[in-house]
Amino acid sequence: MSGRLEGRKVLVVGAGTQANGDPDAPPGNGRAIAVAAAREGATVACADRDRASAKETATLVRDEGGHAQVIVADVSDAEQCAAMVHEAVELLDGLDGVVLNVGIGAGAWLKGTPVETWDAVFSVNVRAHFLTCQAALPVLADDSSIVFISSVAGLRPGSRSPSYDTSKAALAGLNRHVAMEGARRNIRANVVAPGLIDTPLGRLATEGRPSRAKAPVALGRQGTAWEVAAPVTFLLSHEASYVTGQVLAVDGGLSTL
């Protein structure tokens, strides 16, 4: 590791990994991001609605000699979004990085997506990101970085869930606005859009829709959560000091080739 995040204080929202019943399942994106950031020298606040899962991520960080705190928050609750940010500032004694790695999918096709489902998905996939950024921007240090974790589903249709596809696409618009507001203090904002990634949730999705595993990925395989974490740590670092307002697909060429 390069130590590119040495001294940085990073809040990872969605740092736990949802279990899928497979004891040998790989980590989810949030857990890999938290561990990778700590390996690069960051102090990490691991936020998740599942305390046990967040604690497990924090333990993995500490086992490698890193520093981690645990925050429990359900971002579908608007008030908890702001409280989460302020708790991170207190626990870390400041904040200069935020990774937003929360999202849910529900509904099938237009006819199978009730309005209540649409609203529930948007409350987690878009509103929570807006509220977290609203609370974070005033307290972030200058030269900070925000990274939204979206999905290749926001770049091209494919999940069969209109609420999921649309909410993930909406993050690009929110990201551009956050980048614009943050620019006056050199606070950057970018989106990472993973494709087919081998995570516990990815495996569950494939069980429900086996055709998912047959998607024509140019590189011929699914990615790993570590391959998502690598560009995230870059975007959090000063090495990406001239990169803002961008969407980076980490998808093995799925969205373009």
d(CA 103, CA 179): 21
Q: What is the pLDDT of residue 147?
A: 98
Closest CA to 45 of 8, 91, 81: 91
d(CA 190, CA 131): 17
Residue 26 neighbours by CB distance under 10 Å: 17
pLDDT score of 196 more than 70:
yes
pLDDT score of 20 more than 90:
no
CA dihedral 30, 13, 151, 253 (to 10 degrees): -40
DSSP 197-252: EESHHHHHHHHH-GGGGG---TTSS-EEHHHHHHHHHHHHSGGGTT--S-EEEEST
Give 61's contacts (C-beta < 8 A, 6+ positions apart): 34, 35, 38, 44, 46, 67, 68
Q: Label residue 201 by pLDDT band (50, 70, 90).
A: confident
Q: What is the pLDDT of residue 232?
A: 98
Q: What is the pLDDT of residues 106-128, one digit of tens each?
A: 999 999 999 999 999 999 999 99
Catalytic residues: 164
Mean pLDDT within 227-252: 98
Both tokens assigned to 184: 């006056």
φ, ψ of residue 69 to 5 degrees: the values are -120, 160
Q: What is the pLDDT of residue 208?
A: 67
- How much is the mean pLDDT over the chain? 94
Classify burial at 108, counting beta carbons within 10 Å of its beta carbon; exposed 0-12, middle 13-18, buried 19 or more.
middle
Domains of the chain with CATH codes? 9-250 (3.40.50.720)
Both tokens assigned to 226: 């570590």
Asked whether 25 and 111 are in contact (CB, 8 A), the reply is no
Q: What is the pLDDT of residues 32-90, one digit of tens each?
A: 999 999 999 999 999 999 999 999 999 999 999 999 999 999 999 999 999 999 999 99
Specify the pTM. 0.94
Closest CA to 194 of 241, 147, 127, 237: 147
For residue 198, what are the β-bridge partners?
A: 224
d(CA 254, CA 114): 30
φ, ψ of residue 169 to 5 degrees: the values are -65, -35
SS3 182: helix
d(CA 101, CA 248): 15
Asked whether 116 and 163 are in contact (CB, 8 A), the reply is no
